[in-house]
């Protein structure tokens, strides 16, 4: 065969016949295929409705023989938003560790990968195979699409609605069975509700001459090894952890907006009572302010946020906080105890970038 190992990266939300075509072609080109399932570390949402474990089950059901014989290997791949270098490094490490583990299980002791022909396989349907150019040391195979119009977004749109449509013609029968069973779960009902909320939200702008771009602010507030977070009380993302923040009013500067949102959502106070806006502003590190503008960061539409870092003074006791506005609660969390799968949208990645964790 042309390769010892070919790696295929995707979110597979869900795994459909277009994905299967790529995997089948890869199996014809390589002795072993590594499927890296992306977005393994994000909360369940309409865009990422299925966990890594659930997507792994889809693949295991479709490729049971290939997985049992070691020809197909499924591994999780975390998102590393806003940092292509870190993401590339993660892919390199995951592929290398997979090959080394696989070889060791077969009784072969490897001290490197020099004797192996490794490649990446991409799906030529759209720009999703851009990563093929990010690994010059590996070969690359851009598979010609067999299902030109097939996409996971359309499948999810038809599925997550009141009268869910199962993708009999677009997904392997094993995946259709999984989706049929998933319809009976509480998580499905919750996602349907969130999809309906976003649809209604967007309908308010349907008559606009062009799609609106929203401007928001988020506060990254740290004190004594803790970060201040709120738990969302409303859709989208109800129940998930988020940074205090919100939409910018038409008549206020961004800096004033983030201070206002911080006070409204957390009612932050010290021993003397609520902290005045001027004092909160004094804790800002203006040089750390960053813009986060991934076009797909919010289901509500194109939303550009400005994150501000508040570094509060070290004290024996943390400042008092209490949930307010649309936050179910506000609370201090130990940074080392956080799980990215508990976070709303890209707030975990914003926290990573702003604090260096």
Which pLDDT tens digit goes with each residue over 304-314?
999 999 999 99
pLDDT band of residue 261 (cuts 50, 70, 90) is: very high
pLDDT band of residue 107 (cuts 50, 70, 90) is: low
Per-residue DSSP letter, 116 = S
pLDDT band of residue 128 (cuts 50, 70, 90) is: low
Residue 303 predicted with pLDDT over 60: yes
Tell me what the mean pLDDT of segment 76-104 comes to: 89
Residue 293 predicted with pLDDT over 60: yes
pLDDT number for residue 208: 85
pLDDT number for residue 211: 87
Strand 245-247 relative to strand 214-223: parallel, antiparallel, unpaired?
antiparallel
Tell me what the mean pLDDT of segment 64-92 comes to: 93
H helices of 63-171, in order, are 64-68, 84-105, 152-159
Residues 131-160 pLDDT 10s: 777 888 899 998 887 776 778 999 999 999
Q: What is the dihedral of CA 193, 195, 196, 198, to 10 degrees?
A: 120
Residue 127 predicted with pLDDT over 60: no
Strand 214-223 relative to strand 303-311: parallel, antiparallel, unpaired?
parallel
**Bridge partner list, 320:** 269
pLDDT number for residue 327: 59
- Average per-residue pLDDT for the chain: 91
User: What length is written for the chain?
Assistant: 357
Q: How far apart are CA 87 and CA 353, in angstroms?
A: 13
pLDDT number for residue 195: 95
pLDDT band of residue 81 (cuts 50, 70, 90) is: confident
Tell me what the mean pLDDT of segment 118-134 comes to: 74
Q: Which pTM does this prediction carry?
A: 0.90
Residues 154-202 pLDDT 10s: 999 999 987 889 999 999 999 999 999 999 999 999 999 999 999 999 8
Tell me what the mean pLDDT of segment 16-23 comes to: 94
């Amino acid at each position: 065969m042309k390769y010892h190992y070919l790696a295929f990266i995707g979110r597979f939300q869900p795994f459909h016949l277009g994905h299967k075509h790529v995997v089948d072609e890869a199996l014809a080109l390589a002795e072993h295929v590594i499927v890296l399932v992306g977005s393994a570390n994000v909360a369940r949402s309409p865009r990422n409705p299925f966990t890594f474990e659930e997507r792994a089950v889809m693949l295991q059901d479709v490729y049971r023989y290939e997985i049992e014989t070691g020809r197909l290997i499924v591994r999780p791949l975390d998102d590393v938003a806003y940092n292509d270098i870190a993401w590339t490094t993660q892919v390199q490490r995951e592929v290398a560790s997979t090959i080394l583990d696989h070889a060791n299980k077969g009784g072969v002791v490897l001290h490197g990968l020099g004797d192996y022909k490794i490649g990446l396989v991409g799906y030529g349907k759209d720009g999703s195979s851009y990563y093929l150019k990010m690994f010059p040391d590996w070969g690359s195979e851009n598979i010609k699409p067999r299902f030109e119009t097939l996409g996971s977004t359309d499948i999810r749109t038809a599925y997550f609605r009141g009268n869910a449509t199962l993708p009999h013609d677009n997904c392997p029968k094993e995946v259709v069975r999984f989706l049929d069973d998933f319809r009976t779960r509480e998580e499905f009902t919750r996602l349907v509700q969130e999809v309906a909320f976003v649809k209604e939200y967007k309908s308010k702008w349907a008559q606009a001459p062009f799609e609106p771009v929203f401007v928001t602010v988020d506060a990254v507030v740290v004190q004594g090894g803790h970060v201040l977070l709120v738990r969302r009380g409303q859709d989208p993302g109800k129940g998930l952890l988020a940074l205090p923040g919100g939409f910018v009013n038409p008549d206020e500067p961004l800096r004033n907006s983030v201070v206002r949102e911080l006070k409204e959502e957390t009612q932050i106070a010290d021993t003397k009572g609520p902290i005045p806006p001027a004092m909160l502003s004094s804790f800002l590190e203006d040089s750390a302010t960053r813009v986060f503008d991934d076009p797909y960061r919010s289901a509500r539409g194109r939303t550009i946020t400005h994150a501000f870092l508040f570094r509060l003074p070290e004290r024996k006791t943390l400042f008092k906080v209490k949930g307010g506005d649309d936050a179910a609660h506000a609370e201090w969390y130990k940074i080392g105890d956080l799980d990215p799968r508990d976070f709303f949208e890209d707030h975990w990645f914003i926290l990573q970038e702003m604090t260096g964790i």
